Structure 1
């Protein structure tokens, strides 16, 4: 069961975005992040992207950073999956 399910974020270039993902269960679930369907650990390194505990942070966003951010929590009983979106767009004038 989700404790914190990530939600969509809309941000402007230069801003930061944080996705929080945590789940509870017995046994305790293992979390795995994905970027556009690719496991985070297989994604190219990006110094603007950091993972600290359950929080995935994107800094100094650019228009090209819009992407699907996914979190999977799994244990021996199954898994839950969350698709969320990072939208980077110029602020409305």
Structure 2
């Protein structure tokens, strides 16, 4: 990398990847992130975390179902309007 005329050597860059979940963990609680990432101390509320994960998975399924139901409703409305228009134009 160069700035101006002198090349800059990036010696202190880490090869570790930063994941979105890690950013979320850090933003939620920096201390918890530090304990987990740098000290290797696991969370003690594993059961609650698993319950939260299951809740979010269920919620995601509900969201996807509602998206598909909304699309089906729009399709039915379109078909109904098309049939009504056809009836009016040819009736």
> Shared fold (TM-score greater than 0.5)?
no
The structure with the greater share of residues assigned to strand is: 1
Taking structure 1 as the reference length, the TM-score comes to: 0.23
Which structure features the higher share of helix residues? 2
TM-score, normalised to structure 2's length? 0.23
Instruction: Report 1 or 2 for greater relative contact order, CA contacts < 8 Å, sequence distance ≥ 6.
Output: 1
